[in-house]
Amino acid sequence: MSIDREKILQQLARVMNQMAEGEETVARHRMAVAESERDGRQVSLALKMLKYAEHVQMIHLTEQRRLEKILGKKNQ
């Protein structure tokens, strides 16, 4: 296995870990929004935090796909 491929695999593993952690973060923010709405509290900050967490997840997903594409090309 080439060094470049090994580095890409390491990056991919890191991104996958970040995505797993991000899913937990998104879930917590969704729960915070739901609880705030249920309790009649202000939800604007909770919604902003949720949107930001979802945005970060999208960045991780884009990076995952980019790395997988690079790995796919290296296999050909």
The answer to whether position 75 is within a domain reads: no
Check residue 76 and give its pLDDT: 58
Q: For residue range 6-59, what is the model confidence (pLDDT) as tens digits?
A: 999 999 999 999 999 999 999 999 999 999 999 999 999 999 999 999 999 999
Quick check: is 57 in a domain? yes
Q: Does residue 35 form part of some domain? A: yes
Asked whether residue 76 is domain-assigned, the answer is no
Q: Exposed e or buried b for every residue in 15-24, given b needs 16+ CB within 10 A?
A: beebbeebee
| Number of domains observed in the structure of the chain | 1
1: pLDDT strictly greater than 60: no
Instruction: Determine the pLDDT at residue 50.
Output: 97
Which residue segment(s) compose the domain that 25 sits in? 3-68
73 lies in some domain: no
In a domain, 19, yes or no: yes
The reported pLDDT for the residue numbered 19 is 97
Residue 59 lies in a domain: yes
Residue 74 lies in a domain: no
DSSP assignments along 37-73, one per residue:
HHTT---HHHHHHHHHHHHHHHHHHHHHHHHHHHHHH
